[in-house]
């Protein structure tokens, strides 16, 4: 996972790498989000689901967490990108992804999932951007509205 400021153009690019697992963590533990599932969104292109975006909120920590699961060509390492933005105070619906408080971002060549990524959630709205690449190099992208304000 990387914390970086990125914009909408990042969905067209896949860069970065895979963060190593925490010492002692299994892949399943490293890939899970704590808290309650608050949204599950299909990332589609032309009616075909490329991935599933899952958004969680933990009232214990006050954090939002997102994970993007690959559906198309599961197990084949192709591009995936996931960005979760915590909107800043006085955010604009159209500009949260540019005028944000914090961003969690993960991108690279993944066969199963991207993330998890976390951002502070108490008293903030979030916005998510996700992209999944298929074997034929086509991309399905999802750009959420500003939502799940807490």
* Domain that includes residue 54, residue range: 27-143
For residue range 1-60, list pLDDT tens digits in order: 333 333 333 333 333 332 333 333 334 444 689 899 999 999 999 999 999 999 999 999
Task: State how far the Cα of 101 lies from the Cα of 91, in Å rounded to an integer.
Answer: 9
In a domain? residue 128? yes
Specify the pTM.
0.77
Number of domains making up the chain: 1
Q: What percent of the chain has pLDDT over 70?
A: 73
Q: Are the C-beta atoms of residues 11 and 43 closer than 8 Å to each other? A: no
In a domain? residue 148? no
In a domain? residue 132? yes
Beta strands in the chain (DSSP E): 36-45, 48-58, 63-70, 78-87, 100-110, 113-120, 126-133, 139-143
Question: pLDDT category, 150, cuts 50, 70, 90?
Answer: confident
Whichever domain contains 126, its CATH number is 2.60.40
In a domain? residue 3? no
Determine the pLDDT at residue 23: 35
Question: pLDDT category, 102, cuts 50, 70, 90?
Answer: confident
Determine the pLDDT at residue 21: 31
């Amino acid at each position: 996972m990387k914390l970086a400021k990125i914009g909408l153009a990042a969905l067209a690019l896949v860069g970065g790498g895979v963060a190593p697992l925490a010492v002692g963590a299994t892949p399943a533990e490293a890939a899970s989000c704590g808290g309650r599932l608050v949204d599950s969104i299909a990332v589609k292109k032309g009616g075909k689901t490329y991935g599933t975006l899952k958004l969680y909120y933990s009232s214990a920590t006050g954090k939002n967490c997102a994970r993007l699961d690959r559906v198309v060509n599961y197990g084949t390492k192709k591009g995936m990108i996931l960005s979760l933005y915590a909107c800043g105070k006085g955010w604009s619906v159209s500009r949260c992804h540019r005028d944000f408080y914090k961003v969690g971002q993960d991108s690279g060549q993944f066969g199963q999932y991207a993330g998890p990524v976390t951002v502070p959630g108490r008293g903030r709205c979030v916005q998510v951007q996700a992209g999944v690449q298929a074997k034929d190099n086509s991309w399905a992208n999802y750009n959420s509205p500003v939502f799940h304000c807490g």
